[in-house]
Structure 1
Amino acid sequence: MCGRVIVDYDENLGVAEGGALSEWMVGRPDGYAPSWDLKPTQPIPVAFTDRRDGSRRFEYAHWSLVPPWSKELRSRFPTFNARAETAAEKPSFRPSLQSRRCVVPVSGFYEWTGPKSARVPHAIFGPEPVLPLAGLYTWWHEPGAADDAGWHLTATILTRSSAGVMEPLHDRMPVFLGEELLRDWLDPQTLGDQLLVNAVAESSLPISERLREYAVRPLRGDGPELIEPA
């Protein structure tokens, strides 16, 4: 699973020059504020392509995907993660997979090990300053609001079975998006089906071998000290 992330972009966002994601991450998103302990239901940065005009967008979304038919900005079950193996089958995720896919660019994330009485958090970082996670998004509209108002962008992060550095830490890990599939993933004209999800999930494997992780102290508050080694 992926339930806590780190978002700490430097001025040039740390995106490699010429990398596909740099075409979406132009400047920091409006309202940018770094966080070293960003949680579900809080605003999380997402990059996506607008289906209406093909524009590239980089902005904050409510971290937990809310289906359009929901009567409130929440779901009856957790939707901050979506399993890659079943996203194409689930009514909440299937429409977004078809043409509303996004990237969640993070600086890192956390996972815990050990017994429930003594859980140890681990900070995990990718081979580059920005780690692209495959996600899905939807637009949720407040019931009763005017058509041109009351819209909320919501998003979820795909997960898959762990591999590489993640295997000793947890049985699930985020789907890391390889450079070779990033443009296809962000193209709403590319049909989103299980074959696409499988390909993207496989692109995680080389990245999972290049992650680095270390134990940190229990997460309290929100600041750069949270990623200091324990």
Structure 2
Amino acid sequence: MCAQYGLGGGPYVEPPDTPIPPLDERESAERVAEWAAQRDGTARITGKNARNLNPLIREVDGRRRLDLAWWWLWKGDAPARFSAFNSRDDALLRSWRTPFQHRALVPASWYLEKGARFDLGGSMFGIAAITAVSHDANGEEILSYSLVTRRAVGSALDAHSGDGEPRMPLILPSEMHDDWLDPERAGDRELIDRAVLASDGISQDLRRS
């Protein structure tokens, strides 16, 4: 499971290479830079009191949009009572069918697993996510998300100690981003299979540091 990732070195110094649209636009880049400066470039699971929200990319009305979102899927008017910060690829249709129809990308340049850090040498990458829009008890709209995970490959296999199947975030190459974000594209078995297959190469390229 992945419970921490980030952008930049933590603390944040400069934006990572190869930004994902719309992070190549000034306004979005400045929002992410502000977030990174406040959070030491590190995304953490959102707390009920701290309300630390994290950058998320969605497609809305035909354009990619940057939002800040709650990391832990909500169910109804509150965060899910069961673990909902990661969602297995093989459970998307069984347990997460509705959020799977509302997909997003989480920008990152590294993630942690079992204390080990994985990155692409400073390049930004997009982690597949599913989302839900809810309202809290005060009627405030809450955008929440969960990172999609897949079977670990490459160097990520070494970060596990035998306690269950090795997992890693589902990292998508740029050529898969449009399909994943397309709100008109149904979330189905074909999309899952294509996303996992497309992720093999970039996942193998991750280095442990």
User: Aligning the two structures, in what range does the TM-score lie when normalised by the shorter sequence?
Assistant: 0.7 to 0.9
In structure 2, how many angstroms separate the alpha carbons of the residues matched to 1:158 and 1:195?
16
Pair 1:196 & 2:191 matched = yes
Quote how far apart the aligned CAs of 1:38 are: 2.6
Quote how far apart the aligned CAs of 1:194 are: 1.8
SS state of the match for residue 158, structure 2? coil
- Which structure is larger by alpha-carbon Rg, 1 or 2? 1
Maintained 8 Å contact 2:152/2:167: yes
- Write the mapping of 1:41-60 to structure 2, written as runs, cut at 5 A: 41=46, 42-50=52-60, 53-60=61-68
State percent identity of aligned pairs: 27
- Write the mapping of 1:85-164 to structure 2, written as runs, cut at 5 A: 85-90=90-95, 93-98=96-101, 100-112=102-114, 121-126=115-120, 129-143=123-137, 145=139, 150-164=140-154
Number of aligned residues: 190
In structure 2, how many angstroms separate the alpha carbons of the residues matched to 1:6 and 1:138?
22
In structure 2, how many angstroms separate the alpha carbons of the residues matched to 1:195 and 1:128?
31
Quote how far apart the aligned CAs of 1:37 are: 4.1
Maintained 8 Å contact 1:40/1:63: yes
Q: Pick from 63, 66, 90 the counterpart of residue 71 of structure 2.
A: 63
Please report the TM-score for the alignment, with normalisation by the length of structure 1: 0.75
Please report the TM-score for the alignment, with normalisation by the length of structure 2: 0.82
Q: What is the Cα-based RMSD across aligned positions, in Å?
A: 2.1
- Write the mapping of 1:16-55 to structure 2, written as runs, cut at 5 A: 21-23=20-22, 25-26=24-25, 27-28=28-29, 29=31, 32-34=35-37, 35-41=40-46, 42-50=52-60, 53-55=61-63
SS state of the match for residue 87, structure 2? strand
SS state of the match for residue 85, structure 1? helix
SS state of the match for residue 105, structure 1? strand
Deviant stretches of 4+, over 4 Å? 9-13
In structure 2, how many angstroms separate the alpha carbons of the residues matched to 1:33 and 1:75?
26
The runs of 5 or more residues in structure 1 that have no matched partner are 113-120, 215-230
Letter of the aligned partner of 2:104 in structure 1? C
